[in-house]
Structure 1
């Protein structure tokens, strides 16, 4: 029987690989534009309060400066347009340290950087909410109904009858976004339409948010982003720098490039918030779970809310009749948190699985055996059958592959020469999401040779979208991969799912 898939599943060099290693792949700030000007943001040096006055005279008169834009002369923007984190120069209020409070546009990047340092700001400073340790005890219920307390059975009270108990608190720190390519944009106005060359994990989402914030229709905004130098969620939603570049370009009547510095990245594009996760497990002597509670305390911005769902895995990972999944949040003068590499799933499974190991240790039970004993036959959160679940197979085959039978129960007992050998196990889960996508395939025939071009507004986060689409098209059309070209990363192309939440590559 002839093999159906000749390209999918086979090893290929990435079709954009040569472009990347030779420096010919064009990222956001690589796009040439005639008469380019450069914008540099300047930021608040307090966490809370308001701006009383700004002395911009020295900056305005510095060599090469074209404009100094602050809340006093910025155009009116739609702050509910879909951008994350605020900081759109719409007022004197300061909500977090490092909030954008203005930008300088100049002939060169160096001139803009120098002039930005000449701006003198007077503040009316308030006491900032910046100490999580002090604020956590007074944390409140989230506004989102999806994060309301989820109680099964008698909830946390079920632990009272447990023969063996584990109650531990696990913490994960703030993680800052620092992909290889910092967030950056080139804005070019053509009449009442603007082209934004920008790294975006969701092309059409960036287009919609930019248009709404600029009070334009989506047809007036074009996003171009064929290559992205990493994003890890921070480029899944867009931040103020995208639109402020367009504002700067409009103000000076020239194309403008704005690239965040490494230092500015720390308080410009969100973060993974600090999480305190208290996990309480109760079980019978033979290891059957009877109670599970996963209580997360975290923080969000003063003026907006985002909470990563650390309890998601605990809702469905194990069969347990009594459970509580809860969240409490403390508003802080810190930039809005955002999606970061498996939001909630990675941090939450760390806490849950650490507690399961502690329980196995208390029971004197093999950690894999404990997990297998509590494998649910249906989704515990809703009683529905699984669409797919291979935990038992993964644990069983993984144990064979790693020589789990050689593991000794007490740590520090497995050695090869002078090296201690550790064996560990953990489970996790992630939803299988889908989003609509569309594409155009253009075929061209020259003699007996047929070539195809795939056009789609997908993004390539560095995960190989160009190559994956070429493989898929090659098998679907029955022509060699070498005869497939891929065009993506442009909102003028057919709309597609982005590279977020495992819905795109």
Structure 2
């Protein structure tokens, strides 16, 4: 039977079955459900689908100018190559990825909007043939001048309202700043960044004349189906999208990328399946990136160090027609006290690849600035950075006085300081030395807004008591399969190996998708709601009270009876669907996850090189569903934070908008030698306002602020403040006093 059950999060939850944890599965570091498939290479990703069929291959033709009009495309030489089946041109070619949630990707419409945007697709009987023929397509342009430098501020406009309101003000900051006893005013810059997921963007598409099926690497299938349908001119009910395995996304796959639409156009044009895999250079040049920022941070305070006013003003970039902006002030709205506040964003329009969400949009860049500024400001007062943050901890959201749903920032800071040995911090820069290495400690806070999204899941229980979860949710490597399996098994009293999980298919119940750190909480809550519905069904069949019914090891236990599920079901299969929706708790409380990072570095006085010696993260993110996968997510955030602090820099040629370092040979990310033994501590926590699971997002929390803890440690080691990220050795060397080198 089928039953639709919905839970709207209008009130805080009380004690639930998850608190009983009868099976002991919640919080436990269970092994990944799909782990064996991945490590044995048998988990089929998008490009590997339909391998047994006769398929064709597409290769993108990129534009060789940054801005202008396409005047002609000569495909004759390419079409003469044996094995070439079709060359697709025209206005339906997409210029980059879709913005998350947008109705469709932006099309080229005969224009070039950025260097190396797609202008055509060559389809051939082999990848090599398509690649060779793509180089023979001759495109002519009417080139126009472009804008490539954020500092030039050629075109400045108001951003859209997503993912936050761009301008947030309370009181009169300028007046309060002018009256403040002590002031701080510094500017920080961050470069453009790329998500650089391990799996390149790739798709396989098949059209049978009635239904278009697309296997693609996409984080949000519910909007992805509409974006693909719009891209090829079909109704959504004629499109089915699959994405059961994703090799990382980090925001770059929230919207469908050009390969999905191009593969779909290709299969509809030639009548057999088409595969399109973007090369690493294509990925860097034609999907999306994080926008560069210029951030001005100002504080006013009393002589004792109490912050009275705060401003965080950000310039960031995007291409024409895109309202998305890097929301660097997203945590500045609520993280620290200050009665008069101003958090604003301006969008500088450039003719470079569009910018969009990358892991922890806003926090990852904004906290590089604000957490460095807090460290600098604390030093002016001679106050320890830990104590300075404690002094300026707000009791409610300082922007609108909304109560916090749960906030354990100070506990994270205190626990981190204790574990790290913060009391042994060098008293001043240059005071601790080991040969050529100067040693320093740094710390920062971390925060990430929590969101609950509408999500649905079906649970089917077979006559033998085996359960199967089905939902269009995706797993981008974060452990979604395993977490949903754990929730279902715990709720229904089943061993883990008696629960199957099917994900990543738009024919399944619509889900939240993976992104914004909402995935586990949202999809997991839908499984929780479905589980409750199934428990009620079982209880009705045996005339038991669902609230007091105990389920354990495949049995229902009540009174003095213990009945196996197979006996209750009597040969029938039952199926229920549960849905979670955000409600009034999202408005009544301010919800976020919190943490703190502590870092020890060594700075070489001869080379200026920085080495991370220790890195500790303490986090509080509500109920931890799987300690192993949560800790793994934090490791990833820490490592990425190292990259943002010391290495990552997507270089844009200011003469023509070319992304210069468009592959992993030149776009530097941390490798094993850059990463020390990492430590992660997750505090026991519950947030009854966040969801029925009492959990909050953690995947993006761990990157927020990490880079600032590193640059703060660099200052503590050698006295050099780097405000233009990344803190490469040339910047450190330029600020090192000569006597450090002499002493070496």
1:299 corresponds, among 304, 312, 317, to 317
- 1:337 aligns to 2:355 (yes or no): yes
- 1:140 aligns to 2:157 (yes or no): yes
| TM-score of the two chains, using structure 1 as the length reference | 0.93
Structural mapping, 1:184-203, within 5 Å: 184-203=202-221
2:492 corresponds, among 462, 467, 477, to 477
Q: How many correspondences in the alignment?
A: 496
1:57 corresponds, among 76, 85, 93, to 76
Structural mapping, 1:351-430, within 5 Å: 351-414=369-432, 420-430=438-448
- 1:17 aligns to 2:32 (yes or no): no
In 2, distance between residues paired with 1:442 and 1:285? Answer: 64
Q: How big is each residue's C-alpha offset from its partner over 1:404-429, in whole Å with a ceiling of 9 and x where there is no partner?
A: 22223313334679865432221132
1:245 corresponds, among 253, 256, 263, to 263
In 2, distance between residues paired with 1:435 and 1:5? Answer: 28
1:254: how far off?
0.8
In 2, distance between residues paired with 1:73 and 1:288? Answer: 56
1:5: how far off?
4.3
Q: Are residues 254 and 408 of structure 1, via their aligned partners in 2, closer, same or farther at CA, if it must alter by over 3 Å?
A: same
| Aligned residues of 1:82 and 1:212 also touching (Cα < 8 A) | no
1:43: how far off?
1.1
In 2, distance between residues paired with 1:73 and 1:490? Answer: 25
1:141: how far off?
2.9
Give SS of 2:455's match. coil
Partner of 2:102: 82
Give SS of 2:390's match. helix
| Aligned residues of 2:301 and 2:308 also touching (Cα < 8 A) | yes
1:192: how far off?
2.2
Structure 1: which 5+ residue stretches go unaligned? none
Q: Are residues 308 and 148 of structure 1, via their aligned partners in 2, closer, same or farther at CA, if it must alter by over 3 Å?
A: closer
Partner of 1:454: 469
Partner of 1:66: 85
Structure 2: which 5+ residue stretches go unaligned? 1-18, 521-744
| Aligned residues of 2:185 and 2:297 also touching (Cα < 8 A) | yes
| Aligned residues of 1:164 and 1:362 also touching (Cα < 8 A) | no
2:54 corresponds, among 18, 31, 35, to 35
1:366: how far off?
0.7
Q: Are residues 183 and 435 of structure 1, via their aligned partners in 2, closer, same or farther at CA, if it must alter by over 3 Å?
A: same
- 1:272 aligns to 2:287 (yes or no): no
Q: Are residues 2 and 303 of structure 1, via their aligned partners in 2, closer, same or farther at CA, if it must alter by over 3 Å?
A: closer
Give SS of 1:382's match. coil
- 1:347 aligns to 2:362 (yes or no): no
Q: Are residues 472 and 144 of structure 1, via their aligned partners in 2, closer, same or farther at CA, if it must alter by over 3 Å?
A: closer
| Aligned residues of 1:184 and 1:242 also touching (Cα < 8 A) | yes
In 1, distance between residues paired with 2:104 and 2:289? Answer: 12
1:284: how far off?
1.3
Q: How big is each residue's C-alpha offset from its partner over 1:25-68, in whole Å with a ceiling of 9 and x where there is no partner?
A: 00001112521000111011111111111211001111100111
| Aligned residues of 2:336 and 2:398 also touching (Cα < 8 A) | yes
In 2, distance between residues paired with 1:248 and 1:425? Answer: 52
Q: Are residues 139 and 31 of structure 1, via their aligned partners in 2, closer, same or farther at CA, if it must alter by over 3 Å?
A: same
Partner of 1:164: 182
In 2, distance between residues paired with 1:328 and 1:10? Answer: 44
1:152 corresponds, among 170, 173, 196, to 170
In 1, distance between residues paired with 2:364 and 2:503? Answer: 30
- For the aligned residue pairs, the C-alpha RMSD in angstroms reads 2.2
Give SS of 2:353's match. coil
In 2, distance between residues paired with 1:351 and 1:2? Answer: 43
1:160: how far off?
1.5
1:212: how far off?
3.0
In 2, distance between residues paired with 1:84 and 1:273? Answer: 21
1:252: how far off?
0.7
In 1, distance between residues paired with 2:242 and 2:459? Answer: 19
